[in-house]
Amino acid sequence: MKANVHSLDGSVKGNIEMPNVFKLQVRADLIQRAVLALQAAARQAYGTDWFAGKRTSARYLGVKGKRGSMKNREVARGTRVVGSNPGQEMRLRFAPHARGGRRGHPSKPEKCWELKINQKENRLALATAIAATAVKPMVIARGHRVADIELPIVVSADIEAVKRSKDLEPLLTGLKLQAEMERVSERKVRAGRGKMRGRKYKHKVGPLFVVAEDKGIFKAAGNLPGVDVAKVNELNAEMLAPGAQPGRLTIWSEAAVKQVKERFG
């Protein structure tokens, strides 16, 4: 498989032989496993306070023959508050069904959220996710507007030294990605409580720049909405298949393609 190499203005300056990894059959099942494992590893442990609902003087008063026993008094024999406060005396506390009581089965911070995946399966999932970036039907199915664009997209290694966002505009225009950038520039207000928790707006996922080395491209592309940058040695399945759906629009630098060939063949 050969691909055109574009210069910084989007014009074709040559071609390059793509690695064999781009010819692999896409395994959506393995990609999903790898993405779920990454998401599970990113979860933060959480749990309730160990003494939540237990800071009370309530005790069980249903034993026969004890002082204050509830036996034969036509009152539920629950854990009740003992004290001199008229408003709180003999009220149910502590039990899960009581007002202000503990939870029956609280969340525990020691719970393990990890999902395991074999190393070979994880490596194959990454390889097939790379191959999916060159399959146009999958890229279009993700919503990317690339009907008139030839995939995969390879740019000269000079792209890694671009330091300003406005210097990327000629490249995106030359690659006919104006419609794609208009798509990802839209943002919508999130529905639900997330608006109160620092994630009010939802953005669409746009192109991914894959480079061999950061010489300024991270700062330049980081200012564009929906655009991400990653090094070849830091790639994972979730970057190439957000939401476990393969076929993200990916722009490869010429140096990154060579590293992919060394790593995957």
| pTM for the model | 0.85
Q: Are residues 158 and 60 in the same domain?
A: no
Q: Are residues 21 and 123 in the same domain?
A: yes
Examine residue 136 and state whether it is found in any structural domain, yes or no: yes
The Cβ-side half-sphere exposure at 180, using a 13 Å CA radius, reads 28
Q: Are residues 72 and 175 in the same domain?
A: no
pLDDT value of position 246: 97
Q: Are residues 53 and 120 in the same domain?
A: no
Q: Are residues 122 and 105 in the same domain?
A: no
Its domain, for residue 172, covers: 2-32+115-264
Q: Are residues 22 and 94 in the same domain?
A: no
Q: Are residues 193 and 239 in the same domain?
A: yes
pLDDT value of position 77: 83
Q: Are 152 and 251 in contact (CB under 8 A)?
A: no
pLDDT value of position 265: 82
Per DSSP, which regions of the chain are E strands?
Answer: 2-6, 12-17, 59-60, 79-80, 153-155, 187-189, 201-203, 208-211, 228-231, 250-253
Examine residue 37 and state whether it is found in any structural domain, yes or no: no
**125: CATH:** 3.40.1370.10
pLDDT value of position 82: 80
Q: Are residues 128 and 153 in the same domain?
A: yes
Provide the 10 A C-beta neighbour count for residue 36: 15
pLDDT value of position 84: 65
pLDDT value of position 33: 97
Provide the 10 A C-beta neighbour count for residue 69: 14
pLDDT value of position 131: 97
Write out 16-63 in H/E/C secondary structure. EECCHHHHCCCCHHHHHHHHHHHHHHCCCCCCCCCCCCCCCCCEECCC
Examine residue 195 and state whether it is found in any structural domain, yes or no: yes
Q: Are residues 48 and 177 in the same domain?
A: no
What's the number of domains the chain is made of?
A: 2
Of 112, 139, 159, which marks where a domain is finished? 112
Give mean pLDDT in consecutive 10-residue pieces for the chain, a chain of 265 residues. Answer: 92 94 96 97 94 91 79 84 74 92 94 95 97 96 93 95 92 94 94 96 95 94 92 96 96 96 91
Q: Are residues 94 and 216 in the same domain?
A: no
Provide the 10 A C-beta neighbour count for residue 61: 20
DSSP state of 187: E
pLDDT value of position 180: 96
Examine residue 104 and state whether it is found in any structural domain, yes or no: yes
Q: Are 133 and 30 in contact (CB under 8 A)?
A: no
